Structure 1
């Protein structure tokens, strides 16, 4: 019985801090408006970009960032994988290319763009070798 309760608590805790990365920008914008939250747009090369992979592992997957994001942000990932088995649907590829033309003209990977819920850029950054706390502070500085 104790094992079942412990598992249930762990499962509930995992759900409450799971991330909900969107891949449809229009859905993400609508959610940002309805929840009155900023939108974090991340340009990533998930299967080839070493700094992108480090950012995901060290920041996005941290418990601290997951909790922060669940409360404060809408998350959108514009991924540009290179490996054949990781290719995205044509519609998502086109959307991500359009987003890159608008928000990532220099082709920087990773590029982290914080937008208000109307699509205005509040700030940009990239991978930083810092703690999740410091990264969250950087994102918060864009909101002031």
Structure 2
């Protein structure tokens, strides 16, 4: 994502983003999870090297916001070709998320800051913007620049 490295660093400092960085592999393994409870980032065991590789190749970002304490990664978004690839074994969790109105965080690249502008409501497929982000969300929707996990 153009300009995302700086934004990721800023997001880490300001606790704005709920995100995970992943690499493209046959298993679609999620290599870093965001702790939704305290907004601190907890890498999975042995993920440091792969996370660095992911940043360098700029392929995967995973959008996470479960509105629960499970920090469960439900889906991965392929930023390269805009296709959504569920993680291995995640289908059931995604269905549960839709049924229980669990939220996933949508990453919007409508600006060079790569701000996380909105959340996706999995139950009714409607996007609810965060405070102050309505205009940017509309622009993102119109220009098809949303990359989100469903």
TM range (shorter): under 0.3
Question: Higher relative CO (CA 8 A, sep ≥ 6), structure 1 or 2?
Answer: 1
Scaled by the length of structure 1, the TM-score of the pair is 0.27
* Structure number with larger C-alpha Rg: 1
Scaled by the length of structure 2, the TM-score of the pair is 0.26
Structure in which a larger fraction of residues adopt helix: 1
Structure in which a larger fraction of residues adopt strand: 2
